[in-house]
Structures are given as structure tokens and as C-alpha cells.
Amino acid sequence: MPQAPTIVFDLDGTLVDTAPDLLASLNAVLREAGHRTVDPVELRSLVGFGVRRLFERAFERTGTALSDDNLNKYSDEFLAYYRANIANESQLFPGVHETLEALKADGALLGVCTNKPHDLTGLLLNALDLTRHFGSVIGAGVSPYNKPDPRHILDVVAALKGDAKRAVMVGDSSVDVNAAKAAKIPVIVLTYGYTIEPHAELGADALTDDFTEIPALVKKLLGS
């Protein structure tokens, strides 16, 4: 009998629609800095690479590039604002709780691999009652590398005591796809997620706009 699958999930844009709270926090800091705010469509092209890159892109998009000192200052202000407002409007995507419960009941090992700072990841998962589903959660800052470095995903698989040959990544962006491909594991992309690139062009092994389809897709990709 094959080993139970290990399924590693991205967080923002995959499990949770965090865009409203990220946008509110980003725009609060941009206004303070005298920059214009960004809209929800623009946000899609800014997220996914960590907080520093979020601000580098946001300030380049809205006006003046940042010095390192100002980048640190505004990143810290963003993190403080976001930490205090992390789940004001963020919501699970449809079917998340039920699907995660079904996967666990079927023996799957579940983890989270995200470029969101690790402490904020824990706060968000706790606020939305998601922590109980996952045996391992690794956000940014735990290691010196993040996605698309494949070690970020493989660390989650190892922490779950899973088998990389029986692992699947579930995400929403090129960062997730590139990390999974480098880790040599198949990847499912949710087409409602945060990316400006056409999802069909990301190179995923499977696409879906319905989270409840993940168990069937995992079985198809792993051949069982």
C-alpha cells in the first residue's frame, strides 16, 4: 500500500483571501509616505515575494524608489499595522475547511509553505481556525531561503515525515510552480489566486477554480 500523500499548501491566495487586509495595510503606509494608493488589481502583481519585495514594488509603482533605510522603516510600519488588523476582512476560500478535514481523514499529511512572515502566518491561521489542520507550517524567516527555493517546500515535507516522491504542492502563483518544479514534485494551481500571469501559462500539472477538487487531483497526480 503506497504511503499517504503529503500535501503542501501556499497560504495567501490559496487557502485564504487575504487581499482586503493586505491592501488596507499597504495603502495606510503608502498614504503616510505621500504616495498614491494601489487598487486590488495592482495588488496581485505585488504580493508573493515577501514584505520587502512588496514594498520595493509598491513604491516603484506609485512614485519614488526606496532607500534601504526607508524600506526597513515602511516595511516595519506595514507589519505593525497588518499584525493588528490581520483578519479584519480576510476569509477562507470556499470549501477549505471541509476539504482539509476530508484529506486528513483520508490519511494525508498536510503542511503550509508561505512567504508570509512566520509569526504573521501563525496569527492568521489561528484567527481563522486553520492551525489544527496542519502538522507543519513554515513561513518566511524560519530559514534563510523562501520559495521559489525548493528547500522551503522540502523542509515542510521533511517536518511532516512525508515522502517527497508522494508530495504535491498546492498554490496560486509562479512562485509556487517554480518552487515545486525545482523540488521535483507536482503542483496544483488554484485559478482564483494572486497572479497577473495567466494561470494556464504557469506550467502547473493541474488547474482548478474549486478547492474541493484537490483530493481527486492529488490522487490523479500521484496515481492513487
Residue numbers annotated as active site: 10
Q: Specify the DSSP element, H or E, that contains 74.
A: helix 68-84
Residue at grid coordinates 521533511: 158
- Is the Cα dihedral 210, 211, 216, 218 positive or negative? positive
Alpha-carbon span 7 to 31, nearest angstrom: 39
**What are the CA-CA distances from residue 166 to residues 19, 136, 176, 209 (Å)?**
31, 16, 17, 23
The answer to whether 62 and 31 have CB atoms below 8 angstroms apart is no
Give bridge partners of residue 17 from the DSSP assignment. 91
Residue 111's DSSP bridge partners are 8, 136
Cα–Cα dist 21/120, whole Å: 12
Cell of 105: 481523514
Q: Parallel, antiparallel, or unpaired for β 109-117 and 91-92? A: unpaired
